[in-house]
Structure 1
Amino acid sequence: MFEVLLISESKGQHCNIAVHNATNGQNLSTFKGGTSQAGTLCAQSDQHILSSVPNKPIIQAYDLSRKSQVATKIPVPGAVSSLTVSHDGALLAAGIKNDILVWELLSGDLLGVLSMHYQKITTLDFSHDDSYLAAGGEDGIVSVWDMADVWDDAQDQVKPYHSWTCHITAVTKVKFGLRYRLYSSSSDRSIQCHDIPSGCHSIKTIVFENDVVSFCLNQTETFIYAGCSNGALVRYDLLQYSNESQPVHAGNDSPYRLSVKHAHSKKITCIVCSMDGSCIITGSEDQEVKFWDSLSLQYMKVIEVNGPLTNLLLLPAYNGFTDAAQATIMPLPKLNRQLKRVEDGDNGLKFFHTLPIGQ
């Protein structure tokens, strides 16, 4: 099975999301109508492609089928700055202002409103088994939430499992690695690695020469690839030994660093790694998507688009992308704006009541 690359850019002149064969760059299909907010393009398993409309309280959902190109508009309580779906497709998490709203996608029930940050949420990510949800914000805080607490209807106020004030400027991306390691990047020119079970503030800090806008890990977590604000692409070896209490510097003189200084002429806004780890794909404000060999960082090919890149997403080539037959798609429910809780009544029976949330 090959992979497909979903691309969105800020202008949306020809389409909202373009689908390309990640192997040869061939255009397979498009999803039309509007544009997608940066950091919100995600997939619900093999069912839907989701993103948010910039500066509007709307999530747009496309059936993962070549025959369906009209988005379903789903209203939410506010403009969404970050969006992600759990790996099993059961949960949807959205950053709205400084809160995180978590819905169950089967029923549309709002499971939790997670409050920890005091500035806008910029990035979200679920762990590989969906047991944790990580968030980063413009306040420089990285928070981790235990999803068992979010599912627990007895808790009215869910507290984060861990929270670190680890960056001095806005967090640009959080990404889970292996064994519950969490990586976070920031415009303070650093990437930090946290260990969730132990709650360590930082087990590794890598300092770069420029602001880190986006990054990705290869499948074995041996290399980290950073896209910088000056258009540089940097690969750093995560297996090299270092004193965990001291930051390591990924400068030009580092033997563990490989970089392409002018990978793009403008800021690299998004970066992804292929499932076999052989290819790195970068998107930039210079309106180009470039493919790189992961070991040598040799340039392979380019896809030109009509505006600054906002999202890149690599997915397996589900039947909806390649098969002309209509795929079986489950309809998405309306997302409730009120929080549901279960409590015990006087007679021992349980009943539901709703708690309104701020609009």
Structure 2
Amino acid sequence: MAAPLEVIVSSDSSAQLWNISVFDLHSGSSLLSYRGGNSAARTLTVLSGEYLLSAQLGKNFINVWEIQRKDQLQQKIVCPGVVTCLTASHNGLFLATGVGEAVYLWEVCTGKLLSVLSRHYQDITCLKFTDDNSHFISGGKDNLALVWSLHSVIQLDISHTPEPRHVLSRHTLPITDLHCGLMGPQARVATSSLDQTVKVWELSSGELLLSVLFDVAVMSVTFDPCEYFIFCGGSDGNIFQVSLCSQTLGREKSFQSDNEGNQVFRGHRNLVTCLSVSLDGTLLLSGSHDETVRLWDVQSKQSIRCLTHKGPVTNAIIMAAPANMFLPDSRPAVPLPRFSRHLHASEGDGAEMGEVCIRLGLHAKDEEETFLQKADRLNSLMNAVTDKSVFGDGENTKVRVSELEEEVQTLKKVNKDLYDFSCQLLTKPT
């Protein structure tokens, strides 16, 4: 059987059979299952198409699987506290987690903790990157959604405390979910809340574009890929489809089912915590605390498949299948490093001998002398001193030549050790 283009990835809080399971989108057949622990809500993410990550429910660590090795955990990333939400940038360079009231941002290639953003006043509930990775948005129990510019968060001046680009503060109760559309910094962002509203914002200006009031608290929200509709999961088990192309659409409205695209999907018996739409916009996936994941036909509003779980569903997404998910002999190109738990890593914490750290923005620092520049400088010094010794500049110059030759040999050895270490790190089997 050919590998599917899109798959369903889901988890539940009981983890009696598996932690995370992968299903075929069109047939519903089980393809893979990842074992070990169980996953907290809004913490399931794929990193660089090579690793599957999810935070342990109620614990302070993240479970990591190589995406093609399903039977055992490969690594655990220990965090400073219980992880409430987790997301990775689409390019795989950064990992962001919500731990209590703070956002922790790591650089994946080095494991360095780049920033701790303590701007929320209560626990963070959801995190999302924009599709171009230029911004990310955090929502919390303090009723706030904060828009962060990534370049301002990872800037080199550690004495400057980053501030959010926009503070979205029109909700009156905790934010339960958020979804970021396409178009990078020009995207639209939808937020859902226990205040029974879903609000749509313009990311570039922070302006509120639309507020829709429902009869129940809204637990999840998503757009279709073309952003014709918003899908909102209610606490009563219903899923509400709101048309964004209605002729009568105003800045604020109350949801009413009609013939202009505002419809209701009925089938779940408990609150709907997860929503996801297929790439072509024809299928809607929902996960609920009634221990089921349902697949819906968007046009007919009919449930076409029900996947039964053993506990309340915590994560359910439709995603493009990574290229090596079904290739058991494949391995990640680069292994994950050990992630630091401290913002300013002290000696011995993430600063082991042999660690290589590549950092952008070196133009902002004083230019350091490279190894080749240092070797050239020492060589010219040695030649000059040798010339002096030939012309009888005394015994001291001969001693200096010997010292410089020893230093050159030491530098050559350091360079060889660094090269051998890099080769071993990049080629060793996992």
Q: 2:206 aligns with which of 191, 195, 199?
A: 199
1:14 corresponds to: 17
Partner Cα separation in structure 1 for residue 277 and residue 13 of structure 2: 22
Q: Where do residues 9-158 of structure 1 align in structure 2 (5 Å cutoff)? A: 9-66=12-69, 68-155=71-158, 156-158=160-162
Worse-superposed segment, 321-330 or 209-218 = 321-330
Equivalent residues, number: 345
User: Deviation at 1:306?
Assistant: 0.8
Which runs of no fewer than 5 residues in structure 2 stay unpaired? 346-358, 369-430
The structure in which a higher percent of residues are helix is: 2
**Higher RCO structure, 1 or 2 (CA under 8 Å, sep 6+):** 1
1:278-305 deviation digits (Å, cap 9, x = unpaired):
1001111111111101122111111111
Cα gap change, 1:247 to 1:97, in 2 (>3 Å): same
Partner Cα separation in structure 2 for residue 141 and residue 94 of structure 1: 17
SS at 1:19 equivalent = strand
1:218 corresponds to: 224
Q: 1:238 aligns with which of 240, 244, 250?
A: 244
Q: Contact 1:49 / 1:64 at 8 angstroms: preserved in 2?
A: yes
User: Deviation at 1:243?
Assistant: 6.5
1:258 corresponds to: 263
User: Deviation at 1:73?
Assistant: 1.1
User: Deviation at 1:199?
Assistant: 2.6
The structure in which a higher percent of residues are strand is: 1
1:289 corresponds to: 293
Partner Cα separation in structure 1 for residue 187 and residue 162 of structure 2: 20
Q: Where do residues 330-349 of structure 1 align in structure 2 (5 Å cutoff)? A: 330-340=334-344, 348=366
Worse-superposed segment, 88-97 or 246-255 = 246-255
1:299 corresponds to: 303
Matched, 1:267 2:236: no
Structure 2 counterpart of 1:216, one-letter code = T
Structure 1 counterpart of 2:314, one-letter code = T
User: Deviation at 1:252?
Assistant: 3.6
1:109-149 deviation digits (Å, cap 9, x = unpaired):
11111121100000000001010110100010010000010
SS at 2:127 equivalent = strand
2:331 corresponds to: 327
Q: Could you tell me the percent identity over the aligned residues?
A: 31
SS at 1:95 equivalent = strand
Matched, 1:183 2:190: yes
Structure 1 counterpart of 2:263, one-letter code = L
Q: Contact 1:174 / 1:185 at 8 angstroms: preserved in 2?
A: yes
Partner Cα separation in structure 2 for residue 305 and residue 243 of structure 1: 38
Cα gap change, 1:85 to 1:348, in 2 (>3 Å): closer
1:72-125 deviation digits (Å, cap 9, x = unpaired):
111111110010000001100000111001001010111111121100000000
1:249 corresponds to: 254
1:355 corresponds to: none
Worse-superposed segment, 28-37 or 292-301 = 292-301
Cα gap change, 1:243 to 1:13, in 2 (>3 Å): closer
Structure 2 counterpart of 1:18, one-letter code = S
SS at 1:338 equivalent = coil
Partner Cα separation in structure 2 for residue 252 and residue 273 of structure 1: 21
Cα gap change, 1:131 to 1:348, in 2 (>3 Å): closer
Q: Contact 2:60 / 2:78 at 8 angstroms: preserved in 1?
A: yes
Worse-superposed segment, 84-93 or 206-215 = 206-215
User: Deviation at 1:325?
Assistant: 2.5
Find the structure with the greater CA-based Rg: 2
Which runs of no fewer than 5 residues in structure 1 stay unpaired? 351-359
User: Deviation at 1:315?
Assistant: 2.2
User: Deviation at 1:241?
Assistant: 4.0
User: Deviation at 1:256?
Assistant: 3.8
Q: Contact 2:35 / 2:70 at 8 angstroms: preserved in 1?
A: no
1:158-198 deviation digits (Å, cap 9, x = unpaired):
01111121211110111111332111110111111111222
1:233-285 deviation digits (Å, cap 9, x = unpaired):
111101124565x411112468441112x320111111111111110011111
